[in-house]
Structure 1
Amino acid sequence: MGFTHYVNDSLMRFFDQCQRFVEDVENSKTALKEVEIFKTSVEMEGVRRKMASRLQIPHSLITSDLVEAAFFLCSYELAIKSENSLWCNTLDEVDAEVLEYKNDLKQYWKRAYGYDINRKSSCSLFHDLFRRLEEASHYYRLGKATKAATVQVGHAETLLPLLSLMGFFRDKTPLTAENFSVQRGRKFRTSQIVPYAANLLFVLYECRDELRLQFFLNEKPVQFPSIGHPAPLYDTVRAHYSKLLQGCDFNKECELPKVNHMNTEL
């Protein structure tokens, strides 16, 4: 069985093409203000002081960035090499929870629910997904189904906006610098949503009562938001996302507001 492949950065790296996202979030000095506030929080101060104590150095020498660097070195070596890095000894479980929240806070405001444009920047990928599902559904009903699968390769930055657009892992209370203590049971955990080799899978099933659609995240089944069935009818899923399917125009959402250059000279 043969296959064809091509590179489509406008689809899989939509965030680079969305001018409003680049202007209002990516290049904004204030878009991640919640992260900057959290860096000076009581929780982060506690992590800094404990690390300084373990290293037996003045706490003034430990910055939030150094603490985060130690956390990433620890997690990378554990995940990639299955080794317990010496840097892990500078942190405890409570510290890890604080630093995990800091990273989730960043991704929440930069790639997910923090700003509406984060989600809307993935409109083109959303429409492409349902176009392919609709095409598969059409050929199935005609008895001419030939394509077994479509594989698209992107990044965590590709997945988070799309998942957020579709309403997955949305908490009732937004993540902020002030509510770490009440967000311990949060749904939005990037370490679980987009780990290494993160993947999404949409599977159409031929069933007695029509086609059904099941969603998998990292090889585990996940229910569509507000649809109480693990594999609902495909038409039910389309109806659930009807507003997005009828709208969510990438060009309109990503277009920067036009500046009025009207001449005011007398």
Structure 2
Amino acid sequence: MIPFLGARCPSAGDIRKFDVLDKLFENASLSKDWQRSPFGQSQASLLTQRGERELYLLGKRSRKRYSKFWSNITYDANVVEFKSTQVSRYSVIDRKRTSPVRTIGDCLLHGLAHGLRDIRRDNVTAGIHTLQASDEELLMHHACPLWTATVENSSVLKEQVEIYIHTHLSKIARRISNQLGIRPPLEAIHAEHIYRACSYAVTYSGRIDTWCSLLEEEDFLKLEYLHDMIKYYGFSYGSPLNARMACQFYTGLVKSVDDFLDGKSSIKSMMKFAHAETIIFLTTILGLFKDDYPLDADRFYRSKSRKFRTSKIAPFASNIYFEIYNCTDNYESTIFIQMLVNEKPVVIPGCVYTFCSWDRFKQLLGSNIGCDFDEMCKL
């Protein structure tokens, strides 16, 4: 299971953007009664109460879905493996803070443990394995110099974003400035800041009558496409390297399953706490949610048939499950894998059904199993 954090406070960068918006709109009559940004830098990226509940309920649903499996397991670090990235909000206990802080692992395991014998958060704490900062398995782009040089700092991505902002967002900013008499007028990028402020207003307080009220339906579609385009080039099909970035994860997955099947391992369950980028890398390497066209600045952003939508692939509390089945027929056993993205089974491209034979799955991964990550990521 690979869960991504639930609803959280904005990042430090977003909080600075919202502070700028507050100053730009401080004299606008429409927004005088609005609550100013409630977020401080000390809250940056921490889980909200809603996010805690989302993860708790995810844990409860997991317990219900796999009740037969969990009822036969007494927690043991040699049976249930936990890993998290080296980011404090992801691990089970945040040891960097003096006050109690709810983390993704803490909340999810609380839901999972509820009613299960001998699986308690305190028991799990000692068994959590926090990966190093240069994590090739769950935070793979941070461990890849080639990705930083050619993808994160891609001139193609910057060009596409600049074209799109100039073509679409400048019109939104101009309209809002004229309607509310904002002087000096908003810059094009401020439309994107309003979109983000809107999303956090909904997530944090359930309000759609503040920043969201400034945007029209067409604006939401344009701004959604901008964010999808950035993720498309940064973590998915916009760069060939992205289609290999999860090779170390799948190498570990295949080895772990094969070792268990061969009697070399007692690990029956792996839970890994990761990031939205991880979710996208894991789906990209398998060819999931791939459109027949690139997401570029000239593409028709309103297309309802578009598969690559990060709001569907990696929203708050997104997750991936890999289920392994041993099916016996006429005394012959066949191993199958089923992949669930956000708790829904998906057909892996190259497989006919959601249940894909283990051998076929490994065949589809090809040279990604046993990849030399360091060599691949050399500058």
Do both share a fold (TM > 0.5)? yes
TM-score, with structure 2 as normaliser: 0.61
Structure 1 window deviating more from structure 2 (43-52 vs 118-127): it is 43-52
Distance 1:21 1:115 in 2: 9
Query: Is this contact kept in 1: 2:221–2:301, CA < 8 A?
Result: no
Query: Is this contact kept in 2: 1:108–1:114, CA < 8 A?
Result: yes
State the shift of 1:85 in Å: 4.5
Write the mapping of 1:28-43 to structure 2, written as runs, cut at 5 A: 28=154, 31-41=157-167, 43=168
1:151 aligns with: 271
1:17 aligned to 2:143? Answer: yes
1:264 aligns with: none
State the shift of 1:205 in Å: 1.5
1:67 aligns with: 191
State the shift of 1:213 in Å: 0.8
Query: Is this contact kept in 2: 1:24–1:31, CA < 8 A?
Result: no
1:194 aligns with: 314
Query: Is this contact kept in 1: 2:221–2:302, CA < 8 A?
Result: no
1:176 aligned to 2:296? Answer: yes
1:5 aligns with: 128
Structure 1 window deviating more from structure 2 (126-135 vs 167-176): it is 126-135
Determine helix, strand or coil for the equivalent of 1:114. coil
CA offsets per residue over residues 132-152 of structure 1, 9 Å max, x none? 23223333xxxx874331011
Query: Is this contact kept in 1: 2:147–2:241, CA < 8 A?
Result: yes
Which of residues 221, 230, 241 is equivalent to 2:354? 230
Write the mapping of 1:94-243 to structure 2, written as runs, cut at 5 A: 94-139=218-263, 146-181=266-301, 183-209=303-329, 210-243=334-367
1:52 aligned to 2:177? Answer: yes
1:77 aligns with: 201
Which blocks of at least 5 consecutive residues in structure 1 are unaligned? 257-266
Structure 2: which amino acid aligns with 1:208?
A: T
Distance 2:269 2:149 in 1: 36
State the shift of 1:105 in Å: 0.5
Structure 1: which amino acid aligns with 2:335?
A: L
State the shift of 1:255 in Å: 0.8
Query: Is this contact kept in 1: 2:326–2:335, CA < 8 A?
Result: yes
State the shift of 1:86 in Å: 0.3
Distance 2:362 2:271 in 1: 21
Aligned pairs, how many?
249
Structure showing the higher strand proportion among its residues: 2
Query: Is this contact kept in 1: 2:140–2:245, CA < 8 A?
Result: yes
Structure 1 window deviating more from structure 2 (164-173 vs 227-236): it is 227-236
Distance 2:249 2:363 in 1: 18
Distance 1:133 1:159 in 2: 20
Query: Is this contact kept in 1: 2:195–2:223, CA < 8 A?
Result: yes
Structure 1: which amino acid aligns with 2:279?
A: L
TM-score, with structure 1 as normaliser: 0.85
Distance 2:249 2:266 in 1: 23
Structure 2: which amino acid aligns with 1:5?
A: I
CA offsets per residue over residues 112-167 of structure 1, 9 Å max, x none? 1111122323221221122223223333xxxx874331011111122212211111
Query: Is this contact kept in 2: 1:118–1:161, CA < 8 A?
Result: yes
Query: Is this contact kept in 1: 2:201–2:207, CA < 8 A?
Result: yes
CA offsets per residue over residues 73-132 of structure 1, 9 Å max, x none? 111221343332500100122110100000001011111111112232322122112222
Structure 1: which amino acid aligns with 2:138?
A: M
1:88 aligns with: 212
Query: Is this contact kept in 2: 1:111–1:160, CA < 8 A?
Result: yes
Distance 1:84 1:117 in 2: 39
Distance 1:158 1:177 in 2: 25
